Structure formats: structure tokens, C-alpha cells
Structure 1
Amino acid sequence: MAWEIARPSRTPALRGVDMAGFRIHGDGPAQLSAIPHPAVTVVVEFGDHCFDVRDSSGRSHSGSLALGLSGSAAPVRFEDIACVQVRLSPVVAPAVLGFPLAELSGNVVGLDDLWGHDAARLLERLHEMHSWHERFALVDTTLSARFRDDLQVDPEVAWAWRQITISRGRFRVEHLAARVGWSRQRLWSRFGTQIGLTPKRAAMLVRFDHAMHRLVRGHSPARVAADSGYADQSHLHRDVRAFTGTPPASAAGEPWLAVDDRAWPSSSVG
């Protein structure tokens, strides 16, 4: 399997957006797992071959799509992939995609269902371009143009999400409501509608993601468990299996992991 992975040389215009370009060539049909990550994933496919992704209900989706915050790995079947993959912070994603993330949580939606004919025009233009620099610039411009101020999340929800991510999932979620001056019921309801997960589930996902970064870098499961806030190594093992369906060693070896430093190298192209 041959991989080409590109990163933009410039920071995207919108905060909370990250991009990478992928070309993956295989000798025949292959399968990978898209490991859960604390971001909404948008895949804009522009190659001659489509790939299939199964959502949490087992339905198959092909081509350009958006994948909400998920609690389980998504199987990806492909022969060749050519795409720009975008990660959107859930604080930014509703304003870019055009609807609350509760409607996307754990599901996969075709980009044409979200953006209509604009999605098809974007794919056509990407296919005609000859450099990653041009493709990244076009996607960046498209995301900025679609941003809607009226769909931004509440400042209180954005603050709660930041505390969860800054603490790597170890912020005591029962304290969030008191800190923003809302009732627990109101924060949990607004957070779930706008982010797509409850604060507790969001904290679990962020903690898992941090642990996966450590495991991919070769740190021992025992040390990762102790440093990441798990009760013990067995607790980490259960969490990784719940999110990925595999034990930690297998999950850390996934070739298209979506763990930044390994799957998205820091080198840039332009």
C-alpha cells in the first residue's frame, strides 16, 4: 500500500480547523478503521475511485461525507483514495456544516446532502487542480464562505468544551454547570444539542484520544493509564476496546489512525 500525505503550509482561516491531503494506492480492496477523534471529520473525495464507510448502524456511505463525533471506529473499505480530510472542532462545525451536531452524532452524512450542488462543484474543481496547495486553498475558502454566525455554539458551551480539551478529559464535568452559571440540566441539554455528545461522553472521548497519542508514540499502557486519569491499565484497555473494538496494541497499529503526529506528519507542502 503506497501513501502520499500532505499538510497545508498555512494555517486555515477559521480557528478550530485542520486539514490534510491523502492519496492511498492499494493492490486491491483493503480495509482500515477510522479511529474516533474529538472532532467532526469532513472527507472531500476527488479521485476516480470512491471508498465506503460504515456508520454506527451498519449503513454504508460512499464518496464525500461528514462524520460526527463517534464512540466507535468506522470501517473504511477502499482500493484507492484521493481526498482532502478536514477536522472541525465541534465548536466550529455547526456554523460550517449548517446544522446542530446532535443531528450528526455517531452518523455519516453525504456532503451533497449538506451542501447540495455546491459539494459537486467543489469536487469537480479539486479534481481539476494539480497541487495540494491549490486544493487546500480552495477548501479553506469554501469553509470560510459557509460559516454562519447564527449557528455558532453558546459561549458557555464553547467554554465547557475548552475546559474538557485543555484538561485532556480530566475536568470534573459536574463542576461545569456551576462555573458557567447554568443549571446542570440546561448545560447538559445545550451541550448535547450543539456538540453532539454529553459532557461526560465528550470527556471520555478526549481522554481516549490523548491516551491513543501516547500509545502510538510507544509509551507503555501502564504509564499511559496512570498519566491519563484511568483507574488502572485494565480501565484503559476497556476504554480502548469500547472505542475501537480492538485491544490497545492493535488500535495503536492502525495505519490510518487519525492520530496527528503519526498519520498526519508535521511536514507541509505548498
Structure 2
Amino acid sequence: MRPVGYDRAVFDVVPPPRRSRLPGVSMAGFRHRGPEPIRMRAVPHPAVTLSLDFSPGLLVVDDAAGRRPGSLVAGLAFRDLRVHGHGTEAVQVRLSPLVAATVLGVSPADLEGTVVGLDELWGREAARVREQLSHAPSWRDRFALTEELLARRHAAARPERGPRPEVVRAWQRIARSRGGVRVEALAAEAGWSRQRLWARFRSDIGLTPRRAAQLVRFHHAAHLLAGGRSPALTAADCGYTDQSHLHRHVRAFTGTTPATLAGEPFLAVDDLAWPGEAPPVTRPDTR
């Protein structure tokens, strides 16, 4: 358990004792313990987010569509998402778009850029999950409950819910290259035309291959900026044409500038909860 503080808001970040047995699934626990409420901007990352809230307090997310309390699902490439809460506890799960459909029961394409209350997707099961997590005696038990739930849903899903093998390989290539692979190369490897890859990828993942590559590249760049790398060096290291190219992508994904993004507390928390998924962020505790 690692305490993190900023602006007098303090919360614990709890990594699980081991990696998930389900490929494409990672999770972490969060517990707010005041005195000030949590207020932070969520930064997009290349995963679908499942937040399982079981707290006596209230976790609230604001986006362009309004305010949503409690457990929720955030799709790929969300924008201008603000998180608020006081006395909150939650297990947050990151789902690769390759596994999100089988776990959630809805395609990532139906979630692109949106935030949906979990009860809208799972009905009464969402309330049952909340109750089970709230009565679990430890974080280890909560992680075990969450993994069992996700594994059960994944095993029960129809095979056709998952993405096509060609799309799986294309996404994996984008992730390995940190967004540096060209769409033409992905299409050639799949044996498809560019148009067919574009359509199938969008149908299965919820983004076009180009947009997916931009998201993966942005995720890497955001952590370099938060770790103290200058915008100019970040642009060069991440394959942007120049600093203004980086600025445009940061603006497109967050509505802010690289300088502002570098100071977002979400990125430091992200680094503690999911170490190794992006360049490490080293930032002093501001408590």
C-alpha cells in the first residue's frame, strides 16, 4: 500500500499481490482518506477502464455528458474526464480492448469516448458486486473476488464477441511499437486492404488503427512529460514530427497543453498502480 498526496487530498494505492491470470487484465485498489476530497483529471490510456466502487463515500465522474456516481466503465479515448470523491474505495480494472467485450458484455466500439454506469451494463449484478467487495475483509480478498468475477464472465462469453485474429495481431503490433507502426504495414501483415483493416479494426476495437496508434503514442509521451522530459525531447523520442505535433495530440486527447499535462497527479498515481506499463514517473510527494 502506497500513500499518495496532493493538495491535502490523501489516498492509498494498493497493487495486487500478483499479476492477473487473465491476459489483458490488470487491477489496483484505491482508498481515499482525506482530509480534502479527491479532484483530478483522468488521462486517457490504451485500455477500457472498469471502476468497481464499494465505498461508504461517493466516487463521481464528470464528463461532457454529465455526472455519474458509483461504479462505471470508461471507454477508450475518453476526453476531459474529471474524478471527484471523498471517503471512496474502489477496485479499478484496466481491460485491453482485446478482452473488454468478453468481460463486459459490450464491444469497445459501443463505449468509445464515453462513460457508462455499470448498472446500465450489468443490471443487478453491479449491486451484488458492490456488496461482495464491501464485505471482503482485505484487499487480497477484493482482488480475488474481482478476478473470479472477470474470469467467470470471460469464460461464459460467446467466442464471436472477441476481436478477429487479424485485429488482435494489429493491436499487439501497435502496442509493441508504441504507436509507431504504419497502417499500410498492418494491412499488409493481415493480408487485407487498408480499407478492410480500417473497418474491421473500428468494429472490434472501437477506434481506427490510426487513432489507436495515436492513443498508444500519447500514453507513452504523457508519462515522459510527467517524468520531467521536455516537450521537445518527448516529441523526438515518441516519433512526433515536431513539438507542435505533440502539442496537437495532447490537446486532442486532454484539452490541455503538454506543460499542464506534465503536472497532472493522475499520471503519478498511474505509475504506482500499474508499474511497467509506461515510462516511470518520479515526482515528489506534495503532502
The answer to whether TM tops 0.5 is: yes
Match of 2:132 among 103, 106, 125: 125
Q: Provide the residue aligned with 1:151 in structure 2.
A: 161
Question: Where does the alignment leave 5 or more consecutive residues of structure 1 unmatched?
Answer: none
Distance in 2 (CA, whole Å) between partners of 1:79 and 1:63 is: 12
Indicate whether 1:242 and 2:252 are aligned: yes
Distance in 1 (CA, whole Å) between partners of 2:240 and 2:14 is: 34
Structure 1 contact 95–150 (Cα < 8 Å) conserved: no
Match of 1:22 among 27, 30, 34: 30
Equivalent pairs: percent with the same residue?
A: 54
Q: TM-score, normalised by structure 1?
A: 0.92
Indicate whether 1:90 and 2:100 are aligned: no
Distance in 2 (CA, whole Å) between partners of 1:168 and 1:192 is: 19
1:72-93: CA deviation from partner (whole Å, max 9, x where unpaired):
2311222232100000000110
Structure 1 contact 5–23 (Cα < 8 Å) conserved: yes
Q: Provide the residue aligned with 1:7 in structure 2.
A: 15
Q: SS of the residue aligned with 1:27?
A: coil
Structure 1 contact 51–77 (Cα < 8 Å) conserved: yes
Q: Match for 2:34: what amino acid?
A: G
Structure 1 contact 34–258 (Cα < 8 Å) conserved: no
Structure 1 25/250 Cα, relative in aligned 2: closer, same or farther at 3 Å?
farther
Indicate whether 1:183 and 2:190 are aligned: no
CA drift of 1:253 comes to 1.7
Structure 1 contact 18–86 (Cα < 8 Å) conserved: yes
Distance in 2 (CA, whole Å) between partners of 1:213 and 1:257 is: 7
Indicate whether 1:112 and 2:122 are aligned: no
CA drift of 1:241 comes to 2.2
Q: Provide the residue aligned with 1:140 in structure 2.
A: 147
Q: Match for 2:62: what amino acid?
A: R
CA drift of 1:262 comes to 4.3
Distance in 2 (CA, whole Å) between partners of 1:178 and 1:52 is: 44
Higher relative CO (Cα under 8 Å, sequence separation at least 6) belongs to 1
Q: Provide the residue aligned with 1:229 in structure 2.
A: 239
Distance in 2 (CA, whole Å) between partners of 1:173 and 1:86 is: 29
Q: TM-score, normalised by structure 2?
A: 0.87
Q: Match for 2:71: what amino acid?
A: S
Distance in 1 (CA, whole Å) between partners of 2:140 and 2:133 is: 11
Structure 1 71/235 Cα, relative in aligned 2: closer, same or farther at 3 Å?
farther
Q: SS of the residue aligned with 1:51?
A: strand
Alignment RMSD (CA, Å): 1.7
Q: SS of the residue aligned with 1:238?
A: helix
Q: SS of the residue aligned with 2:265?
A: coil
Comparing 144-153 and 20-29, the one that deviates more = 20-29
Indicate whether 1:67 and 2:74 are aligned: yes
CA drift of 1:258 comes to 7.2
